[in-house]
Chain A
Amino acid sequence: MNDILGRIFSAGTFQQMLRSATPVALAAIGGSMTEHAGIMNIGMDGMILMGAFFAVLGSFLFQSAMAGLALTLGVGLIVGLFFALLVVKFKSDEFIIGCALNTFALGLTGYLSDSVFGASGAKGNPSLLVVRLPFLRKIPFIGTVLNGQSILVWVTVVLMVIMWVFVYKTPHGFWLRASGEKPETLRTAGISPERMKWIASILCGLFCALAGAYLSLGQLSGTFSKGMSNSRGYIAFACVIFAAAHPGKAYLAALMFGFFDAIGMRLQAYVSSELTQMIPYIITILMMIYVVVRQNNRRRAPRKLQGMAKS
């Protein structure tokens, strides 16, 4: 038993947790933007996959990880614009577009990967900077956890704080939230909700591209394999729902998913990793039920009070 607990709460677990959580957290922060704008975005998986592919493609073509990052952000921008064009401008069903986007990404990246890299896929291209700080190494536990992580792990934390402030402390964030909750009120105030939805979609495209870049250039050294997003988009979506689209909470939710992923790997000798990976999904469903039930109760409460006042 002590052995198991020791394995769960070791530095290795938390190091792995950060690694698993970072791409999910990036996508979830992006997904929080579209969620606030009232768009149910389940196309994040495809966005991540395209992000991963074009990051490697850029890295391969220009032999520079920064070029890969630039290319994938450019593509992320286009994907976000495309998503907004269909969902906001043409008012298509966001759910269908999301589904189709996932499949489209699978097809496009699979096809291009076959054409450019051949059957074996892309390997060993320049990857992103790994941060190793000498003073961190001296701190026992935290040093092992934090040292040797990709620069994107750190960038994610910074971006999380920025988006948190953006959503809750700036006028644009206020309008963004209003564009999903009360679009007509926002329009009356003279601000176009459609514009906020466009911005949210673009942000989501960019964040998912970063998440993909982390997968292909951060975690592995410049590697792409087909379907490598591996349903992380859906996990990110679960985080968004779990966190009620709060960037900070979404980050924590991603850490939770990362944690269960990590202990799944660490405890393979004891429990099947599939079973531990299942836990966060079930928690998300229970969480949703809890949130909805609480909302329903709240809505009912005033009526109860009215009834009491009458009697």
Chain B
Amino acid sequence: MSERMQQRLRYLAFLVISILLAFGIGAIVLAVTDHEPLAAYKAMFQGAFSAPRHIGDVLEYAMVLALCGLACDLGSRVGIFNVGGEGQLLLGAIVACQVGVWLKGSPTWLVMVLAALAAIVVGGVYAFIPGVLKVKVKVNEVITTIMLNTVAALLCSYLVKGPWQSSSKYVTAGTEKLNAQYWFGGLIKGSKLSTAIFAAAVIAFFIWYVMQRTSRGYEMKLIGQNPRFARFSGLRNDTVVILCMTISGAICGLVGMFRVYGAEHIFKSGISNDYYFEGLMVAMIARYQPLTTILLSLFFAALKIGAEGMQASAGVSNHIYLIIQTIIIFFMAAESGIFTAIENRRMQKAARRAALARREGGTDNE
């Protein structure tokens, strides 16, 4: 067995064990709070898969998670960590929505193209700033993007209460609703799934292809893992890093546009509840591998939608899914550490046994 294969198997085994353990701990939490764990998990499964509209919601959320996760993959591949996706997503969403509101009456294709472009530009610029600061000034991008997230959230909250506020009295903090002609077509009745998922699939395939199957992708890896070597082999590290960060932000902005034009048809507070952070955690569990990110997105989307169904049908708080999800992350993040600790203990034990054996049986051997 090749070493790579072995590594993959180890990863897979650890992932499965982590998931099982997380569900186990989740069951304990459920049991302690007077819920039947098996019944709750059954309700969770049904909440995700029992009806077409549930499956539609799972796919819609998986799309959001996968794109956010891929945006994170893209940055971390070249060694820059985009934590600002939440802000980029929010700004992309609100600007795209406002484009639709302003251009009311224009042809559908024009509005949608312009909205997508606006979201891409806004998201991209909002990631470009921390990208440049990181590369040119060496300011830690994690900190700046976290600050910019809050700035973006405050800005959106200002806009929906002030200049861009809806005139409808039924919307307290939100923009005008989009005209139905501009929406992505719904695919399953009663679910949030829309044709936006096809666009998302194309983008996801493209990112996977570039990262895994082209020499550009290999160069990115080189820059991320060994920046000095990459520089000496003639790669323009700085440009690539800034570019990846900008594209990462542009994708997040586009996710915002998909959320507005595909699912919500309005910009309000529910457009994203830290969705980017959840996507980021999926990417982390997937070790920043694009394909694994996409597959795990489906799993975690099912978990979340299932938990919402469970809350409705079994009366169990849907927050349980956050607990299960983060326990998986704790295990996965500590994987190599746990392995080293076990290894160390085993070696220590072996050494102690050997020392004991030498001391006790010393006369026999020598």
Contact = CB atoms under 8 A, between A and B. Distances in A.
A40 B142 contact: yes
Contacts of B149: 234
B331 to A, nearest CB: 10
Contact of A104 (B143, B155, B158, B323): B323
Given A92-B333, A289-B137, A107 B146 contact: no
Interface string B116-152: 0000000000000000010001111011101111110
A103 B138 contact: no
Interface string B67-92: 00000000000000101000000000
Interface in A113-171: 114-115
A237 B146 contact: yes
B162 A272 contact: yes
Contacts of B154: 274-275, 277-278, 281
Contacts of A282: 147, 151
19 contacts: A92-B334, A93-B284, A96-B281, A97-B333, A99-B277, A100-B326, A107-B321, A107-B325, A234-B149, A238-B146, A241-B143, A272-B161, A274-B161, A275-B154, A278-B155, A288-B144, A289-B133, A289-B137, A289-B139
Interface string A88-108: 011111011101111110111
A103 B29 contact: no
B274 interface: yes
B18 to A, nearest CB: 12
Interface string A162-188: 000000000000000000000000000
A86 B334 contact: yes
A100 B329 contact: yes
B320 A107 contact: yes
Contacts of A107: 319-323, 325-326
B220 to A, nearest CB: 20
A296 B280 CA distance: 31
A115 B33 contact: yes
Contacts of B24: none
Contacts of B319: 106-108, 110-111, 114
B337 interface: yes
A282 B148 CA distance: 8
A90 to B, nearest CB: 3
B337 A103 contact: no
Given A90-B337, A90-B338, A292-B137, A103 B322 contact: yes
Nearest to A93: B333
A96 B329 contact: yes
Interface string B204-241: 00000000000000000000000000000000000000
Interface residues of A, number: 45
A231 B333 CA distance: 23
Interface of A: 40, 42, 86, 89-93, 95-97, 99-104, 106-108, 110-112, 114-115, 231, 234-235, 237-238, 241, 272, 274-275, 277-278, 281-282, 284-285, 288-289, 292-293, 296
Interface in B312-339: 317, 319-323, 325-327, 329-330, 333-334, 336-338
Contacts of B157: 274
B60 interface: no
A110 B321 CA distance: 11
B349 to A, nearest CB: 18
Q: Is the interface of A mostly helix, strand, loop or mixed?
A: helix
B341 interface: yes
A243 to B, nearest CB: 13
Given A111-B319, A114-B319, A292-B139, A91 B336 contact: yes
Contacts of A115: 33-34, 317
Given A86-B330, A111-B317, A99 B280 contact: yes
A103 B336 contact: no
Contacts of A114: 317, 319
A40 B83 CA distance: 14
Contacts of A231: 150
B308 interface: no
B57 interface: no
Given A107-B326, A278-B150, 19 more contacts: A86-B330, A90-B340, A99-B277, A100-B281, A100-B329, A103-B274, A103-B281, A104-B323, A104-B326, A107-B320, A107-B325, A108-B323, A110-B322, A112-B33, A237-B143, A238-B146, A274-B158, A282-B147, A292-B139
B278 interface: yes
Nearest to A92: B333
Contacts of B341: 89-90
A125 B232 CA distance: 64
Contacts of A95: 81, 83, 142
Nearest to B338: A90
Contact of A288 (B29, B143, B330): B143
Contacts of A293: 137
